[in-house]
């Protein structure tokens, strides 16, 4: 994002506020309830979105040094991420190539050698098979290259590790990322580190959780006791960046900006900028830190959520620890308000009371997000 765009995004919202207007889509839309309940649809989302598109697998700071590794499930696929001796990030299916045991059981750690707990076949951090007990008599002429770990397409960009959870995938990372590349570079995520993180599971469809971040219509109601007072009522804007979305959520200080000083305006001083990276990651850029929400759908009605506070790496120090913990707690408390409502909505959908959700003209980004989902399912 360049300076001119920062200024024009603020000007647009300031103008709406001054004239008592809102950022509106053309039409009211509806979203069928089956989208959030149907197990078949969930399986299609998993295979055509979560197993086919680039997914943010980690922040680079979660693989900080040569030998760092972590394990996770993406789209139901067990994945091992490593940083090898050359410093490059690798992604593998975390399954032994001998008889299929789970290769690495730990969540994270630091080593270059991964030995299967069943018969101790051993691979290095580049995925090459390095050891087979009693190899010669038992596996004569073993082609070690054919038994390398199954590699997944992976790249490290903008301080993030992007993986496609399909060993046969041929993703076009550039096509997927180009529309948001300028913004992600501007966000400077590569200069940040992990200040705090929590993981838990919610009884809600993953799309409800994404949708909850895409409008400011609820701020003064759901968040009346937390962040609500810091935001004008029902004011935000959005723009599609390919399949991704940039939302701008102005703070009350926007009213006091002096138009004559526009050249000096900085968007993060007067608004939160939210990047919804398709399908299921949201980065909320605040003044001095970023709240990152990652969703890992488990079923149509259950989603694992990871909330991470990213802060300037140089400022993640003992003396600043309390500051980041406080910010992380504010984020967590605010999101807990959203998540309580999201779980209640899921239960409401399951009750059969409604056949559709209704998206008003303030909630256009929710419709556009669902259109992207539909596009990949088609
Ligand atoms: S299953 Fe892994 S070494 Fe046998
Ligand atoms: Fe909210």
Render pLDDT for 94-121 as a digit per residue (tens, 0 to 9): 999 999 999 999 999 999 999 999 999 9
Kindly state the percentage of the chain with pLDDT values over 90.
98
Instruction: Please tell me the distance between residue 102's alpha carbon and the centre of ligand 1 in angstroms.
Output: 9
Q: Do 160 and 144 meet the contact criterion of CB atoms below 8 Å apart? A: no
Q: What CA–CA distance (Å, rounded) separates 118 from 101?
A: 7
**Structure confidence at residue 289 (pLDDT):** 96
- Closest residue by Cα to atom 1, ligand 1, is 99
Output phi, psi for 249, to 5 deg: -120, 95
Instruction: Give the DSSP letter string of 218-266.
Output: THHHHTTTTTGGGS-TT--EEEEETTEEEEEEE-GGGGG--GGGGGG--
Instruction: Please tell me the distance between residue 213's alpha carbon and the centre of ligand 2 in angstroms.
Output: 6
Ligand 1 atom closest to residue 116's alpha carbon, by position in its atom list: 2
Q: What CA–CA distance (Å, rounded) separates 258 from 269?
A: 14
- CA-nearest of 246, 250, 254 to 236 is 250
pLDDT in tens, 16-25: 999 999 999 9
Residue from 116, 122, 123, 149 whose mutation best tests the ligand 1 pocket (most atoms within 8 A of CB): 116
Instruction: Please tell me the distance between residue 116's alpha carbon and the centre of ligand 1 in angstroms.
Output: 6
pLDDT in tens, 175-227: 999 999 999 999 999 999 999 999 999 999 999 999 999 999 999 999 999 99
- Closest residue by Cα to atom 4, ligand 1, is 119
Instruction: Please tell me the distance between residue 138's alpha carbon and the centre of ligand 1 in angstroms.
Output: 13
Tokens of 77: 């696929």
Instruction: Please tell me the distance between residue 117's alpha carbon and the centre of ligand 1 in angstroms.
Output: 7
Q: Which residues surround ligand 2, an ion (CB under 5 A)?
A: 338
Q: What CA–CA distance (Å, rounded) separates 376 from 56?
A: 18
Q: What CA–CA distance (Å, rounded) separates 208 from 214?
A: 10
Query: Considering all CA atoms of the chain, what is the largest pairwise distance in Å, rounded to the nearest integer?
Result: 83
Q: What average pLDDT is seen over the chain?
A: 97
Query: What are the b/e assignments for 346-360, b being 16+ CB within 10 Å?
Result: beebeeeeeeebebb
Residue from 78, 92, 96 whose mutation best tests the ligand 1 pocket (most atoms within 8 A of CB): 96
- In this model, does residue 284 exceed pLDDT 90? yes
- In this model, does residue 259 exceed pLDDT 90? no
Class of domain 3-52+191-377: alpha beta
Tokens of 121: 């076949």
**Structure confidence at residue 235 (pLDDT):** 96
Ligand 1 atom closest to residue 96's alpha carbon, by position in its atom list: 2
Q: What CA–CA distance (Å, rounded) separates 250 from 120?
A: 56
Three-state SS across 24-83? CCCCCEEEECHHHHCHHHHHHHHHHHHCCCCEEEEEHHHCCCCCEEEEEEECCEEEEEEE
- CA-nearest of 173, 187, 179 to 56 is 173
**Does the beta carbon of 118 sit less than 6 angstroms from any atom of ligand 1?**
yes
> Mean pLDDT, to the nearest integer, of 141-149?
97
Please give the helix or strand (H or E) that residue 310 lies within, else none.
strand 302-312
**Does the beta carbon of 102 sit less than 6 angstroms from any atom of ligand 1?**
no
Radius of gyration, alpha carbons of the chain? 23
Q: What number does CATH give the domain 55-170?
A: 2.102.10.10
Q: Do 173 and 157 meet the contact criterion of CB atoms below 8 Å apart? A: yes
Instruction: Please tell me the distance between residue 17's alpha carbon and the centre of ligand 2 in angstroms.
Output: 20
Instruction: Please tell me the distance between residue 253's alpha carbon and the centre of ligand 2 in angstroms.
Output: 19
Ligand 1 atom closest to residue 100's alpha carbon, by position in its atom list: 1
- Closest residue by Cα to atom 3, ligand 1, is 119
Domain with CATH 3.90.380.10 in the chain: 3-52+191-377
**Does the beta carbon of 111 sit less than 6 angstroms from any atom of ligand 1?**
no
Instruction: Please tell me the distance between residue 243's alpha carbon and the centre of ligand 2 in angstroms.
Output: 22
pLDDT interval class at 245 (50, 70, 90): very high
How distant is the alpha carbon of residue 153 from its chain centre?
18
Domain with CATH 2.102.10.10 in the chain: 55-170
Alpha-carbon separation of residue 108 from 64, 81, 87, 356, 363 (angstroms): 11, 9, 17, 42, 39
> Mean pLDDT, to the nearest integer, of 40-64?
97
**Does the beta carbon of 95 sit less than 6 angstroms from any atom of ligand 1?**
no
Which residues contact residue 192 at a Cβ distance below 8 angstroms, ignoring those fewer than 6 apart?
59, 61, 159, 289, 290, 310, 311, 312, 313
Which residues contact residue 293 at a Cβ distance below 8 angstroms, ignoring those fewer than 6 apart?
209, 213, 281, 282, 284, 305, 306, 307, 308, 335
Ligand 1 atom closest to residue 97's alpha carbon, by position in its atom list: 2
């Amino acid at each position: 994002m360049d300076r001119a765009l920062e200024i024009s995004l603020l000007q647009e919202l300031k103008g709406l506020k001054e004239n008592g207007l809102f950022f509106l889509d053309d039409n009211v839309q509806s979203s069928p309830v089956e989208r959030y309940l149907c197990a078949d649809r969930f399986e299609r989302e998993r295979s055509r979105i979560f197993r086919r598109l680039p997914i943010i697998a980690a922040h680079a700071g979660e693989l900080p040094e040569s030998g760092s590794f972590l394990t996770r499930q993406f789209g139901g696929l067990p994945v091992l991420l490593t940083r090898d001796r050359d410093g490059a990030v690798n992604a593998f299916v975390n399954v032994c190539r001998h008889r299929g045991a789970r290769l690495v059981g730990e969540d994270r750690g630091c080593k270059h050698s991964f030995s299967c707990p069943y018969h101790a076949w051993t691979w290095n951090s580049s995925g090459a098979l390095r050891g087979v007990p009693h190899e010669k008599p038992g596996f004569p002429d073993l082609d070690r290259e054919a038994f390398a770990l199954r590699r997944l397409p992976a790249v490290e960009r903008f301080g993030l590790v992007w993986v496609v959870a399909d060993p046969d995938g041929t993703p076009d990372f550039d096509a997927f990322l180009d529309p948001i590349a300028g913004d992600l570079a501007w966000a400077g995520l590569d200069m940040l580190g992990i200040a705090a993180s929590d993981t838990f599971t919610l009884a809600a469809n993953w799309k409800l959780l994404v949708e909850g971040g895409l409008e400011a219509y609820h701020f003064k109601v759901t968040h009346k006791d937390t962040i609500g007072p810091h935001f004008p009522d029902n004011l935000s804007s959005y723009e599609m960046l390919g399949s991704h979305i940039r939302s701008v959520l102005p703070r009350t200080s926007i009213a006091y900006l002096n138009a004559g000083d526009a050249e000096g305006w900085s968007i993060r001083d007067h608004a939160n900028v939210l990047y919804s990276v398709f399908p299921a990651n949201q980065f909320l850029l605040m003044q001095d830190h970023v709240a990152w929400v990652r969703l890992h759908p488990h079923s149509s009605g259950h989603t694992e959520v990871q909330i991470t506070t990213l802060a300037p790496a140089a400022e993640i120090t003992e003396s600043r620890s309390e500051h980041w913990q406080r910010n992380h707690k504010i984020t967590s408390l605010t999101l807990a308000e959203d998540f309580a409502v999201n779980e209640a909505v899921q239960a409401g959908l399951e009750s059969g009371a409604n056949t559709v959700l209704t998206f008003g003209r303030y909630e256009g980004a929710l419709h556009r997000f669902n259109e992207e989902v539909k596009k990949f399912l088609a």
